[in-house]
Structure 1
Amino acid sequence: MKIVVLDDYQRVARAYGPFDTLPDAEVEVLHEHVADLDELAWALRGAEVAVAMRERTPFRSDLFAMAPDLRLLVTTGMKNASIDLASAAAHGVTVCGTDAAGSATNTAELTWALILACRRRVVAEDRALREGRWQTTIGTDLAGTTLGVLGLGRLGTQVARIGVAFGMRVIAWSQHLTAERAEAAGATLVSRNELFETSDVLTVHLKLSERTIGTVGAAELAAMKPSAILVNTSRGPIVDESALVTALTAGSIAGAGLDVYDVEPLPAGNPLRGAPNTVLLPHLGYVTDATYRAWYAQVVEDIAAWRAGAPVRVLTA
């Protein structure tokens, strides 16, 4: 049985995953992202099993057709918008996932790392200090300011409760959010317009879907305070990337902390790399030791269970 592990950027798959417990398994680990479809199909030649790390590599109908030997696709997480589950089933490919054990708070924690880095100018001051300068910026307090949460689901609720602990006024909006659910998270339900107009920190926690693509566009960014910052640890396309670059360059918002992008890894020539007052991270929200330990162990469990004829954590369309 040949197994191809994709997108192991950090070269940790073998350390975290007990692949040696799978008898007669040939494991090939790819450390670089393979974007070209033909190259990816070539990389998967002869492989019965592929392991995908989150949404780094799309699996659509064309790829399944070009990888006829593939029978099992394992993805970290129990949802993956980059996998066409209907096409997988049509090509006889079982898709299994891994649950959220160990990853309940990691993205919420990183969200606050970005908020604090932006508000207290951590990156700029670190750089200035290394260059021999001392106290070059003035930070902004969180206590007494307004945290706006766009999407008050599991992650948004965690972020909101931390905002309360910082002494912030927390407001929230999403399409189906109720006042009762907002109150339970320590937040106040407001209108969509009020969320953008009054937030000092706006943090995005919507799920990516056709409905949420471009939710934060030029009009929304223009409605924000010039002193406000935007933080996105959800998915890149929820925020109009071009509009955000324009807003940052014009100074119509004070800054942005980003962990997600339209195209990942972020291309070398992307304008965000040169945008002012930004803290940019390479999609680290889920990347923690506890998460990787849980996910890679379950990846191997999924493969073993499928091989035994009793697949677990099966994802269906």
Structure 2
Amino acid sequence: MGPFRLAVLDDYQGVSGEFADWSSLPVQITVFRAPLGSPADVTRALEPFDAIVAMRERTALPGDVLRALPRLRLIATTGMANAAIDLRAAAGCGITVCGTTGMAGAVATIEHTWALILALARRVPRHDALVRAGGWQDGLGTTLHGRTLGIVGLGNIGRGLIPVAHALGMRVTAWSRRLAAVPAGVDAPGKEAFFAGADVLSVHIKLAPSTRHYIGAAELALLKPSALLVNTSRGPIVDTAALVAALRAGRLAGAALDVFDTEPPPPGDPLRTAPNVVLSPHVGYVTRESYAQYFPQLVEDVAAFLAGQPIRVLEEAP
């Protein structure tokens, strides 16, 4: 029958071996450091494997791919939800899907969101490039004190922005279609007033069919021309075409993005040439601390499965 083969996907930094003790598992490990490509490429690459370790939603595992992998028995993914994995198809194929717990990734994303807000408001990438090229000051930054931070969605990450905003002297507002309880110190105006009043708009909702293009041309048109948009959630939540059009027309002062419709974005992606943007390669949750939490649990997932007692099993929501 051969050895139990495990594929570790999307180890972009080549550090999975530093954080995971793969030698403790009776398996044959193959580490993939680059994206696998199209669904057909993913299927070809993963056909020989019994198990997959998936880092968040870097590689999509839809039903068509899973059904083409008859040897696959286990997927261990970081987090207790992964929109890139078709859980219904996995169950139908007899594939167990396990996850990891903990807040290190959320804390890291909160910090990275603020890094992007500050970099955008104070034009840090632009000035860094100027100094490196022998230049000096160009353009004016924006003071956040006294401005309004508008948070789309108040989950763990959205709520985590609030104390920092208050420390900076910002007013905080929140909105979503299903906004629940709002904490003290946060206003919840109606949709139009929310978008019209935001100086910095930060996106923090989960991607689902109902949230694709949650922020589109109509919502962007409500923003003031001096507003800044930051997205560290998922790319398709914001309509990229509408965002690029607003930036190029000067109807939006800038955008900072850690997520894209296609990751990595292809060479012709319009965001690569859009004005007044700060781009980072989906690293909001990528820190030593989050990896130190994720990878040991992934090893535990595989070990428990091999022992016939899977842990942290993910199931499709009813």
TM-score, shorter chain, exceeding 0.5: yes
Q: How far apart in 1 are the matches of 2:39 and 2:205? A: 29
Moved over 4 A (4+): none
- The residue number in structure 1 matching 2:216 is 217
Amino acid in structure 2 at the alignment position of 1:68: P
Distance in 2 (CA, whole Å) between partners of 1:219 and 1:172 is: 18
Q: Distance in 1 between matches of 2:140 and 2:81?
A: 41
For residues 275 and 146 of structure 2, what CA distance do their matches in structure 1 show? 26
Q: Secondary structure at the match of 2:210?
A: coil
CA contact (8 A) 2:122 2:142 kept: yes
Match of 2:283 in 1: 284
Provide the residue aligned with 1:39 in structure 2: 41
1:6, CA displacement in angstroms? Answer: 1.1
Letter in 2 for 1:269: G
Give the whole-Å Cα distance in 2 for the aligned partners of 1:40 and 1:129. 42
* Conserved 8 A contact 1:125-1:137: no
User: Which residue does 1:194 correspond to in 2?
Assistant: 193
Partner SS, residue 246 of structure 2: helix
TM-score (norm: length of structure 2): 0.96
Alignment partner, residue 124 of structure 1: 126
**What is the TM-score of this pair, normalised by structure 1?**
0.96
Aligned to 1:197, the other structure's residue is in SS state helix
57-66 or 293-302, which moves further after superposition?
57-66
Shift of 1:166: 0.6
Deviations along 1:77-128, one digit per CA (max 9) or x if unpaired, are 1100011111101101000011124224111111100100011000111111
Q: For 1:15, give the aligned amino acid.
A: E
1:152-171 mapped onto 2 (5 Å cutoff): 152-171=154-173
Are the counterparts in 1 of residues 67 and 89 from structure 2 also a CA contact under 8 Å? no
1:215 CA drift (Å): 1.3
Counterpart of 2:113 in structure 1 is 111
Describe how 1:69-108 pairs up with structure 2 within 5 A: 69-108=71-110
**Counterpart secondary structure, 1:301:** helix
For these two proteins, the number of residue pairs brought into alignment is 313
Partner of 1:264, secondary structure, is coil
Aligned pairs (5 A) from 1:130-279: 130-178=132-180, 181-184=181-184, 186-279=185-278
Deviation readout 1:179-198 (Å, 9 max, x if unpaired): xx3233x2111111111111
Aligned residues of 1:94 and 1:314 also touching (Cα < 8 A): yes
Structure 1 unaligned residues grouped into runs of 5+: none
Gaps of at least 5 residues in structure 2 are none
Q: CA RMSD in A?
A: 1.1
Secondary structure in 2 aligned to 1:95? strand
Give the aligned partner of residue 17 of structure 2: 14
